[in-house]
Amino acid sequence: MAHAAPRPQIMPGQRPEGIRVFGERAHAVAKLAGPIALGLVYGYWAAANQRYGGPLTGWNILFGFLTALVFAALCIALLNVASKLRREVHAVLWGAFSGAAIGFLVNQSHTSVLRSAALGVAVAAGVSAFLFYRYYTHEDAQGHHTE
């Protein structure tokens, strides 16, 4: 007859640590390297959209690097601040960041402001709804992570 495997006892008020493959230093580096890499991709994408197939200029490169810098700085700030907030505000902040980022990219491709705003609002609403559902199903009533 088969029996269930024994589970470690967790005292009330304690969180299970889980398996950590990498050390604290690797996680700290990844917390900075991830947003910087995303920022560089985003800056290149925004500069390519603004260039619209034209020649590469110094101003276009400067625009790409400044866009990457702002994107990475906002992403790092959100990673540090948003997780300390309630799940509703946390989800709305990431949704607003995503919607603004997509709206800005669409606006750089020489489309109408209404189209870029509508797409940005749609992305913001979708990301906010998805993240609220995720945070709602992975936290208890006090906002502590259950995983």
pLDDT for 60 beyond 60: yes
pLDDT for 11 beyond 70: no
The rounded Cα 107 to chain-centroid distance in angstroms is 20
Tell whether 116 and 129 lie within a shared domain.
yes
**Residue 77 belongs to some domain of the structure:** yes
For 75-129, write each residue's pLDDT tens digit.
999 999 988 888 889 899 999 999 999 999 999 998 899 999 999 999 999 999 9
Chain mean pLDDT for the chain: 86
Tell whether 72 and 118 lie within a shared domain.
no
Domain count, the chain: 2
**Residue 6 belongs to some domain of the structure:** no
Tell whether 65 and 103 lie within a shared domain.
no
Tell whether 90 and 73 lie within a shared domain.
no
Q: Are 36 and 72 in contact (CB under 8 A)?
A: yes
Residue with tokens 């990498």: 22
Domain holding 58, by residue range, is 28-84
Domain boundary among 43, 61, 84: 84
The more confident residue out of 81 and 6 is 81
Alpha-carbon distance values, 141 to 5, 87, 125, 138 (Å): 29, 10, 23, 10
Nearest in space to 97 (alpha carbons), one of 112, 110, 81: 81
Tally of residues, the chain: 147
pLDDT at residue 107, rounded to an integer: 94
Residues sharing a CB contact under 8 Å with residue 117, sequence separation 6 or more, in sequence order: 103
